[in-house]
Amino acid sequence: MRRIFLSFLAFSALVLPVVAQAQAFPTRPVRIVCPFPPGGGVDITARALANELAKQLGQPVTVENKPGAGGNIAAADVAKSAPDGHTLFLTLNALHAISPVLYSKLPFDAIKDFAFVTTLVRFNNVLVVPSTAPAKTVQDLVAQAKAEPGKLTFASSGNGTNLHLTGELFKSMAGIDIQHVPYKGSAPAMTDLLGGRVTMMFETIPAAIAQVRSGKLRALGVTGAARSPLFPEVPTVADSGLAGFEVQSWYGVVAPAATPREVVARLNAEAVKAANGREFRDRLEPLGFGILTGTPERMLEMVKADAARWAPIVKASGARID
């Protein structure tokens, strides 16, 4: 009995502090780091999540925009932060599946340096041009690019982002020569697109919808397997002459790698509850986001599946950043 009692005390000494830590979390304001400037899809999602988590956790939840290097600056900041659950990262699949192949050096390990919490939303992108552009269809745009090789440009939210690689995939499958122009986020890229300083852009539907509906941009094709209910009149890129073209993106939440499992479990439960709540859905679904939540394990599986798909595309494109 004495041996059993001592074993119980030893077990309690190891487990109870961790349980207490999870129960006490959070003990101060929570920071959600956003890898892009205000105004884009990642920022919209981060702020919607922060609003719900603040109510559920009983602590202020702030969003800190830290753009640059296709999101890698923000990712490195989070990877080096204290692993106590008070610093979170509103991430996207490209940062974990594409950046490790695209960049010759990264200041973090895209898998090992993070504790995966949950995916939040998924969405398709849309190919847009200024409303004054001569191209009325994807076929028109491809024909123009072939007639003027090397002269047309496509903007993106940064090197290595999903929007960048979607453009590279389009370039490869269409057999055209168009020049990539990276920006520090979707908002500045959109500004130059509206001003006619770049030819085209693959943008997330949530970030592009207002400009398309206002008539400032023309949507030529969506990247999903089917038409978007928000743009029912716009065909898919695949149905516009590029059979097999399909790109879907998602955003999710991660924390620093050594965050205790119990805290990750708490964060998962709260983030899943927030994303499936009415206020979050009412804010994001009209913009073209679909709710996509799950376990930390499922999120990691999705990252690995995306990496397997995008690695050969990155290599075939010849894109490489030192």
In whole angstroms, give the CA distance from residue 157 to residue 71: 9
Q: 168 and 197 in contact (C-beta within 8 Å)?
A: no
In whole angstroms, give the CA distance from residue 75 to residue 254: 10
Instruction: Single out the residue in 240, 263, 295 at which a domain terminates.
Output: 240
Instruction: Single out the residue in 208, 240, 272 at which a domain terminates.
Output: 240
- What is the per-residue pLDDT for 15? 46
Q: What is the domain-level CATH number for residue 228?
A: 3.40.190.10
Same domain, 148 and 220: yes
Q: 291 and 121 in contact (C-beta within 8 Å)?
A: yes
Residue range 208-232, pLDDT digits in tens:
999 999 999 999 999 999 999 899 9
**Bridge partner residues of 30 (DSSP):** 61
- Looking at residue 236, the DSSP 8-state letter turns out to be B
Specify if 225 maps to a domain: yes
Specify if 18 maps to a domain: no
Instruction: Single out the residue in 194, 211, 240 at which a domain terminates.
Output: 240
**Which residue intervals of 148-246 are DSSP H helices?**
162-174, 186-194, 205-213
Residue 242: φ, ψ to 5° = -115, 70
Same domain, 67 and 129: no
Residue 234 has pLDDT above 70, yes or no: yes
- The answer to whether the peptide bond before residue 26 is cis (omega within 30 degrees of 0) is yes
Mean pLDDT confidence for 17-30: 74
Burial string for 67-95 (b: 16+ CB within 10 Å, else e) reads bebbbbbbbbbbbebebbbbbbbbbbbbb
- What is the per-residue pLDDT for 102? 86
Of 98, 101, 243, 247, the C-alpha closest to 173 is: 243
Domain of 198, in residue numbers: 124-240
Neighbours of 161 (CB within 10 A): 29
Same domain, 138 and 203: yes
Specify if 16 maps to a domain: no
Q: What is the domain-level CATH number for residue 257?
A: 3.40.190.150
Q: 64 and 31 in contact (C-beta within 8 Å)?
A: yes
Q: What pTM was estimated for this model as a whole?
A: 0.80
- The region that residue 163 occupies, defined by phi over 0 for left and psi between -120 and 50 for alpha, beta otherwise, is alpha
Same domain, 146 and 102: no
Mean pLDDT confidence for 103-116: 94
Quick one: pLDDT band at residue 274, thresholds 50, 70, 90?
very high
Could you tell me the CA-to-CA distances from 165 to 97, 119, 296, 312 in Å, in that order? Answer: 11, 21, 25, 11
Specify if 14 maps to a domain: no
